[in-house]
Structure 1
Amino acid sequence: MIQETVKALTVVQEMLTAFGKGDLESLKQTLSEDTVWIYHGVDGIPYNGTYQGKEGAVNFIMNIMNNVDILDFQITKMIADQNTVVVLGSEKQKIKNNSEVLEQKWVQVYTVENNLITRLEEFSNTAFSFQLFQR
């Protein structure tokens, strides 16, 4: 059980490191073929929705990059238990189409199976995000 937890944590750390470097090829190597990424938001947030497969995960990231400039991205805590990793963090983004600045905390929940990420769910203050995107 401890070994499974360490492996899950390591895979998520590798993915986040690749994300931070903008290395999408290395990021994809941490994902299962049928990974599912879900951003729990509302219509009006450009990257809201469910993304399936490695290319879907890349599309999610590209949707973010096409709509905001990431000014700051911080991981404050990682909690792992067996094949689940919970990441707490914060971010500061500048919305490209209106120059509004979005600062928020978020929670990401990862599921790891066979040393690959099979699922990501992200939660944040989407009501606030929606308001800023609509300005």
Structure 2
Amino acid sequence: MTTTPTQVIQSMYAAFGRGDVEGLLGLCTPDVEWTMLGSIDLPYIGQFQGQQALLRWFGLVAEFDDIQAFEPREFFAGDDHVTVLGWERTRAKPGQGVFETPGCTCSRCATARSRASSACTTPPPSRWRGASNLKPRRGPAGC
């Protein structure tokens, strides 16, 4: 059975939604490149190379954000990449407010395994795993 890049990325999102980081890592190549762009300084902003670095990235996200809802809504496939539009609701830690935002990620695949999950740009005032304007984290309403 052939696995398409879209199926791989959908499986990665499903694993993340279940909290199965090990399962998500299993879909990545050992040299995965994971890039998070953002407008404020947080430890998980930047480029992370390799599965161990990606595992550290997920730990940093969990340390600074309480993701309350995470919904990939649309998947768009290209020849070697998949773009995902989605939405999330997150409480910024420690003790900061809740914000909701749409988002966009772009993942490049090598055969049936994710080779790079690097960020596309997301229009302000959004915040997403991938590309973010993280200003809502500090914005009005207690964030």
Match of 1:22 among 19, 23, 29: 19
Deviation of the 1:116 alpha carbon: 1.2
Between Structure 1 and Structure 2, the one with more helix by share is 1
Taking structure 1 as the reference length, what is the TM-score of the superposition? 0.85
Fraction of identical pairs, as percent: 25
Q: 1:86 to 1:31 in 2, by over 3 A?
A: same
Q: Does structure 2 conserve the Cα–Cα contact (< 8 Å) formed by 1:89 and 1:105?
A: yes
Deviation of the 1:74 alpha carbon: 1.1
Match of 1:11 among 2, 8, 11: 8
Q: Deviations over 1:93-128 (max 9, x none)?
A: 111213211211110000000211111121222333
Match of 2:52 among 32, 52, 55: 55
- Tell me which of the two structures has the higher relative contact order, counting C-alpha pairs closer than 8 angstroms and 6 or more residues apart: 1
Match of 1:124 among 132, 138, 142: 132
1:103 aligns with 2:103: no
Q: Does structure 1 conserve the Cα–Cα contact (< 8 Å) formed by 2:39 and 2:132?
A: no
Separation in 2, partners of 1:102, 1:51: 25
Separation in 2, partners of 1:43, 1:100: 16
Match of 1:31 in 2: 28
Match of 1:82 in 2: 79
Q: Does structure 1 conserve the Cα–Cα contact (< 8 Å) formed by 2:81 and 2:109?
A: yes
Taking structure 2 as the reference length, what is the TM-score of the superposition? 0.81
Separation in 1, partners of 2:67, 2:105: 17
Structure 1 unaligned regions, length at least 5? none
Match of 2:91 among 94, 97, 103: 94
CA RMSD of the aligned region, Å? Answer: 1.9
> How many residues get paired?
129
Partner AA of 2:55 in structure 1: V
Q: Deviations over 1:38-80 (max 9, x none)?
A: 0011452232111111111121111111111111111121100
